């Protein structure tokens, strides 16, 4: 099955062409073409992502990325539109939510126009399902369900029980900021540009390598709470107070703040994941850790330690380049969607952008 996939939920415009064969538990995924354009530099000047600006940029970039993707795959678009020479796409998958609605609409409108032109079905995909199934790529082992997914991105921090393909139950979520958002906000306090997650990670690593002892501790919000929810807004504020109280901005101080922030943020993620595995997700055979923050080296190391406590559990992480937003994961989720419900290909209904879409709804 050949799938063209489109992602425009936030500030990355992405298009991919995949060829997927095999069954949904263990698909063979070939990336024929994959392009991505990040609007980070544009939004950076304004200090945040503006939905209408993102939409305009997506509209501008989508045709360019489509042509790039098809050319990479060896199917250049003919001059007057129509499908690329020799290309037969079976389906178009597009992110319908969650995300910024104007940005989502840009992708949906483009996908539907393409679907009409090519006479192919368009399937809406949940962005978070995309993150979950991003771990399918490059895997050479079957994915056993039920699974527990720790989803960590700029907009989400969730523990999700995956009972079956397409059957999700959210066990816990953040009550305020997402963990990626906290990384970005703390980075800003330390004078680093967006997205701050990777930059915090580099500073924290420098502090660890220095062998310095940390002489302060930040809070681990909700670590002992009786549920699987998270909170990151208090931790962010604690960092702000620390910076104000010390009045320092030297490299050593910044590195230590980054390290202790990272320690605190990740300790809570690990503790809640353990709690879920010991309790509500006790049946899980697989642990999935996905979303942009899954690219974090310290989280990766701590998750590998955690898995040692559960000898029967298999760990699945996305390839590093597929942890942050991309269109490959949307294509994989589209494939799984269709495998679950083949009728979806014949019963085309209008796709709507759903900014607050939640898994399982």
Pick 15 or 89: Cβ nearer Zn ion: 15
Minimum CB–partner distance for residue 134 and Zn ion (Å)? 9
Minimum CB–partner distance for residue 153 and Zn ion (Å)? 4
Which residue in the set 33, 172, 180, 221 belongs to the binding site for ligand KG4 (CB under 6 A)?
A: 180
The long-range contacts involving 239-244, CB below 8 angstroms and separated by at least 24 positions, are: 239/186, 239/189, 240/189, 242/216, 242/218, 243/189, 243/190
Q: How many of the chain's residues bind ligand KG4 (CB under 6 A)?
A: 20
* Stretch of 52-60, 105-113, 192-200, 330-338 lying at the interface with ligand KG4 (CB under 6 A): 192-200
The entry of ligand KG4, Zn ion, none near residue 334 (CB within 5 to 8 angstroms by kind) is none
Which residue in the set 97, 172, 197, 221 belongs to the binding site for ligand KG4 (CB under 6 A)?
A: 197
Buried residues in 157-166 as b, exposed as e (16+ CB within 10 A)? bbbbbbeebb
Going by C-alpha positions, the residue among 95, 131, 121 that lies closest to residue 13 is 95
* Stretch of 41-49, 54-62, 76-84, 181-189 lying at the interface with ligand KG4 (CB under 6 A): 181-189
Q: Any contact of residue 292 with ligand KG4 (CB under 6 A)?
A: yes
Host H or E run for residue 116 = helix 101-118
Which residue in the set 58, 325, 344, 357 belongs to the binding site for Zn ion (CB under 5 A)?
A: 325
The entry of ligand KG4, Zn ion, none near residue 5 (CB within 5 to 8 angstroms by kind) is none
**Three-class secondary structure of residue 126 per DSSP:** strand
Distance CA 151, CA 129 (A): 10
**Three-class secondary structure of residue 188 per DSSP:** helix
Size of the chain, expressed as the number of residues it contains: 361
Which residue in the set 35, 109, 153, 273 belongs to the binding site for Zn ion (CB under 5 A)?
A: 153
Which residue in the set 184, 255, 256, 302 belongs to the binding site for ligand KG4 (CB under 6 A)?
A: 184
CA 322 from centre of chain? 8
Q: Any contact of residue 39 with ligand KG4 (CB under 6 A)?
A: no
Question: What DSSP letter does each residue of 311-327 carry, written as one string?
Answer: TTPEEE---GGGTSS-S
Pick 89 or 179: Cβ nearer ligand KG4: 179
Distance CA 136, CA 316 (A): 8
Minimum CB–partner distance for residue 116 and Zn ion (Å)? 28
Contact mark string toward ligand KG4, 144..163, x via CB under 6 A: ---------xxx--------
Q: Which residue has the tokens 């425009």?
A: 8
Q: Which residues bind ligand KG4 (CB under 6 A)?
A: 10, 153-155, 180-181, 183-184, 195-198, 201, 291-293, 295-296, 324-325
């Amino acid at each position: 099955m050949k799938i063209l996939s489109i992602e425009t939920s936030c500030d990355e415009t992405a298009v991919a062409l995949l060829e997927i064969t095999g069954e949904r538990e263990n698909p063979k995924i070939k990336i024929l073409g994959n392009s991505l354009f990040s609007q980070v530099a544009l939004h950076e000047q304004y200090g945040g992502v503006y939905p209408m600006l993102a939409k305009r940029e997506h509209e501008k970039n989508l045709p360019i990325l489509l042509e790039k993707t098809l050319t990479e795959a060896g199917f250049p678009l003919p001059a007057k539109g129509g499908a690329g020479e020799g290309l037969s796409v079976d389906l178009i998958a597009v992110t319908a939510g969650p995300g910024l609605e104007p940005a989502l609409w840009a992708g949906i409108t483009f996908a539907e126009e393409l679907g009409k032109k090519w006479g192919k079905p368009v399937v809406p995909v949940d962005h978070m399902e995309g993150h979950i199934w991003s771990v399918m790529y490059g895997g050479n082992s079957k994915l056993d369900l039920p699974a527990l997914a720790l989803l960590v991105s700029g907009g989400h921090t969730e523990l999700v029980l995956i009972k079956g393909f397409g059957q999700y139950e959210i066990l816990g979520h953040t009550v305020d900021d997402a963990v990626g958002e906290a990384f970005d906000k703390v980075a800003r306090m330390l004078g680093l540009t967006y997205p701050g997650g990777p930059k915090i990670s580099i500073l924290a690593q420098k502090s660890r390598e220095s062998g310095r002892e940390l002489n302060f501790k930040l809070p681990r919000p909700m670590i002992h709470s009786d549920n699987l929810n998270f909170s990151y807004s208090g931790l962010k504020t604690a960092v702000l107070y620390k910076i104000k109280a010390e009045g320092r901005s030297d490299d050593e101080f910044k590195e230590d703040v980054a390290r202790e922030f990272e320690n605190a943020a990740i300790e809570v993620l690990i503790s809640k994941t353990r709690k879920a595995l010991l309790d509500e997700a006790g049946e899980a055979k697989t642990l999935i850790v996905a979303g942009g923050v899954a690219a974090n080296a310290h989280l990766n190391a701590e998750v590998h330690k955690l898995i040692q406590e559960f000898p029967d559990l298999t760990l699945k992480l996305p390839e590093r380049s597929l942890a942050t937003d991309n269109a490959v994961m949307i294509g994989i989720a589209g494939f799984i969607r269709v495998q679950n419900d083949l009728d979806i290909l014949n019963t085309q209904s209008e796709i709507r952008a759903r900014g607050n879409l939640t898994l399982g709804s």
